[in-house]
Amino acid sequence: MASEQEVRVILSQLQQSEAEARAYEQQMEIVSFTISEIENAVVAVEALSKPDIGKETLIPIGANSFVYGTIPQTNRVIIGLGANVSAEVDVTDAVSYLTERKKKLTEMQGQFAARLNQIGSQIYSLQSKLQTVQSQLKATPDV
């Protein structure tokens, strides 16, 4: 028999699932942003290492403004390893490190998407359960 208590339980489960879904969506946005940053970094590292690229560059200072700068070394790159530590590596190592990181993040993105999908189904089934219980409640005359 449907009861107010049952409605409260379903609503609370629904809120939990929705909060979980929002958290996963946020995580996925961060991961997507990081992947696109990595892709940009790979493009930059590869382009700078080509001999026909000049060493004179424009350095962004914000607000779409730049100052002139030169890159004395284009064959060495400083990459962040995490925990506030960075290391100098050659272009090949930098590209392979970044590619590996992108691969891990892409896997993570897939896992998040799968989980989000599951939560979506949970939300859908909870919503239909809620509708059923609510219509049963409406149909039941007050005792």
Partner 1 sequence: MSAELPPQIQNQVAQLQQLQQQAQALAVQRSQLELALNEAKQTLAELDKLDEKAVIFKTVGTILVRSNKDQVNGELTEKKETYEVRLKSLERQEERVQTRFQQLQQQLQKALGGGTAPQGA
Q: Is 83 in the site for partner 1 (CB under 8 A)?
A: yes
CB of 62 to partner 1, least distance (A): 13
Amino acid present at 70:
T
Q: Is 30 in the site for partner 1 (CB under 8 A)?
A: no
Q: Is 37 in the site for partner 1 (CB under 8 A)?
A: no
Size of the residue set binding partner 1 (CB under 8 A): 12
Q: Binding partner 1 by CB under 8 A: which of 64, 70, 75, 84? A: 84
- Are 28 and 116 within 8 A, CB to CB? yes
Q: Is 78 in the site for partner 1 (CB under 8 A)?
A: yes
- Which of 89/123 has CB closer to partner 1? 89
Q: How many CB atoms lie within 10 A of CB 123?
A: 16
Task: 73-78: list long-range contacts, CB under 8 Å, 24+ apart.
Answer: 74/48, 74/49, 75/49, 77/45
- Which of 86/140 has CB closer to partner 1? 86
Environment class of 119 (CB within 10 Å of its CB; exposed 0-12, middle 13-18, buried 19+): buried
Which DSSP helix (H) or strand (E) runs through 60? strand 56-62
Q: How many CB atoms lie within 10 A of CB 19?
A: 11
Q: Is 3 in the site for partner 1 (CB under 8 A)?
A: no
CB of 130 to partner 1, least distance (A): 19
CB of 106 to partner 1, least distance (A): 17
Q: Is 86 in the site for partner 1 (CB under 8 A)?
A: yes
Residue numbers of the site for partner 1 (CB under 8 A)? 78, 80-89, 97
